[in-house]
Amino acid sequence: MLKHRVFAAVTLLEVALLVVLVLHCNARRQRESASVIPANRHLARQLELTDLAIWTEARYTRHPSQADRFAPFQDLPSSLEHFPAGSVVPPPERAPEPGRGSR
Amino acid sequence: MQRFKILEYALSSLGRRKGKHLSIIAVYAFTISVLASILLLSHALREEASAILADAPHVVVQRISAGRHDLISTDIIDPVRQIPGVGEVRPRYWGYYFDGITGANYTVLGIDDRRTVELELLEGALPEAPGECAVGGGVSELREAGIGDELVLVDSRGVGVIFEVVGAFRSESNLLTNDLVVMSNADVIEFFDLPQNRATDLSVEVFNPKEVQTVAAKIKVLYPDTRPITRSEIIRTYDAVFHWRSGMVLMVFFSALIAFCILAWDKATGISAEERREIGILKAIGWSTSDVLELKFWEGAAISVTSFLLGLIAAFVHVFLLDAPALAAVVKGWSVLFPQFRLTPSLNLYQIFVMGFLTVVPYVASTVIPSWTAAITDPEEVMRA
């Protein structure tokens, strides 16, 4: 009757490790939500920033929210996508006409 | 008590084919960790984007000419300001700069030097006089330009312009400022040689957030060649970009899911002759069909639960403690300037439960079902087969 005890102990150890990781992440989240995120929000408000500086290889990947509606194909119709980041950004959903409410 | 004995037997049975089952656990846990890493990373990025951009401009008004973004006339600022509910309307001057020395693209952003702004994430100060600039972490590192150093950029006339770096953004703001070169509006106009009375776009403040869509519609009616982009559209863009259904994320996600399906399918399509013989012997010595099924259930559950927990732990460590180095390489693409960012952990328990349900249950089922077909067959026939 030893093996099932070892199995239970290993499973409990894994669960405990997972709980510790979740608690650690939650503590970090609370800490950063109180300091880093408000500071970044303030920065975005003051500098009037609209996008994250993740992909800098093309206009439509640097500012996805400000890009032309046909952005990935702006060089010529049906042209192939140049940049790997374009694979991460899906084709835009049809934007609502202003004043008609959100999707 | 009998249940524990069956569990004990199940674990002994797994132990007899240690190599095979350990390799299944390794592959299963790896698949779970890939799936969970993608879900954790995309969820954290989405949450981070909506939290940071929650104070982005209410409405950004672009001019569209021949289907493309064009410079907008600053003459429309006053008429837009007259729209009821509209507060400040400010021209934004910004553009892109390709740095031939490093092969990187920078975003050159103008600010109104008459406004006094205190920024917690900025060391030094924002530019206040002509010829001054503040730089993001990526630009600072790439050009080795800290506070007090000079940054030489070539303007649109082909003339090198020397800027004095008076501020450097801290690394905590890399997700927003990594490629930024901030200078005064006058310097941006001069640098890009923008025509008089033209700005890149306009930032419109709306007093009541509920009126944003109405104001955007009025601007569109007044100036049909413009494209108002509201704050909610900006946030929705990032929601779509980092959604698990988006391109690359979906591709990696499905690759891992298909790998798991192959693993489960391999189990479900049949059991080995050795396993069939074992079931036959158990039946012959008096085990009932339900006992055999319980045995197989425990075998499947032991492998599944262990692998699922190991995979989740690996995903947590990979995404939130090591900052997702394996996936960052996928997300990075061709960017020369890619921010080193630390994501704020964000959990979606619903996603974790769904993933657990979609992986643990099918695997246990694929272990039990083929054994059931063997368990209901005559033991002699099973042992002779």
Q: What is the ipTM of this complex?
A: 0.81
Q: What percent of chain A has pLDDT over 90?
A: 22
pLDDT score of A5 more than 90: no
Number of H helices, E strands in chain B: 14, 14
Which range has the top average pLDDT, A60-69, A83-92, B212-221? B212-221
* CA angle, residues B308, B310, B311, in degrees to nearest 5: 65
Q: Tell me the nearest-neighbour CA distance from A47 into chain B, angstroms.
A: 7
Pairing of strands B68-70, B226-230: unpaired
- Residue A33, number of CB atoms within 10 A of its CB: 13
Buried b (16+ CB within 10 A) or exposed e, B21-33: beebbeebbbbbb
Contact A4 B11 (CB under 8 A): yes
- Res A103: pLDDT: 37
- Res B93: pLDDT: 96
CB-based contact B166:B133 (threshold 8 Å): yes
A2 burial level (CB within 10 Å; 0-12, 13-18, 19+): exposed
CA–CA separation, A52 and B238 (whole Å)? 9
CA–CA separation, B67 and B99 (whole Å)? 27
pLDDT score of A101 more than 50: no
- Name the residue among B7, B13, B30, B91 with its Cα closest to residue B57: B91
Strand partners, B174: none
- Res B76: pLDDT: 92
pLDDT score of A84 more than 70: no
B81-102 confidence digits (pLDDT tens): 999 999 999 999 999 999 988 8
pLDDT tier at B385, thresholds 50, 70, 90 = low
Nearest CA in chain B to A71: B68
A15-65 confidence digits (pLDDT tens): 999 889 888 888 888 887 788 889 999 999 999 999 998 888 888 888 888
- Lowest average pLDDT, out of A74-88, B283-297, B311-325, goes to A74-88
Nearest CA in chain A to B11: A3
B314-339 confidence digits (pLDDT tens): 999 998 888 888 877 777 666 777 77
Contact B15 A61 (CB under 8 A): no
Buried b (16+ CB within 10 A) or exposed e, A83-97: bbbbbbbbebeeebe
Is the CB of residue B228 less than 8 Å away from at least one CB of chain A? yes
CB-based contact B311:B263 (threshold 8 Å): no
pLDDT score of B1 more than 70: no
pLDDT score of B280 more than 90: no
Contact B8 A53 (CB under 8 A): no
Pairing of strands B180-184, B104-111: parallel
Contact list in B for residue A89 (CB cut-off 8 A) is 241, 246-247
- Name the residue among B189, B155, B135, B150 with its Cα closest to residue B337: B135
CA–CA separation, A48 and A4 (whole Å)? 60
Contact B335 A14 (CB under 8 A): no
Phi, psi angle pair for B38, to nearest 5°: -65, -45
- Name the residue among B267, B307, B237 with its Cα closest to residue B36: B307
CB-based contact A72:A60 (threshold 8 Å): yes
Mutation target among A1, A10, A25 for the B interface, most CBs of B within 10 A: A25
Q: If you count residue pairs, one on A and one on B, with CB atoms under 8 Å apart, how many are there?
A: 239
Cβ neighbours of residue B370 closer than 8 Å, sequence gap 6 or more: B267, B268, B269, B270, B271
DSSP B75-134: GGHHHHHTSTTEEEEEEE-EEEEEETTTTEEEEEEEE-TTS----TTEEE----STTEEE
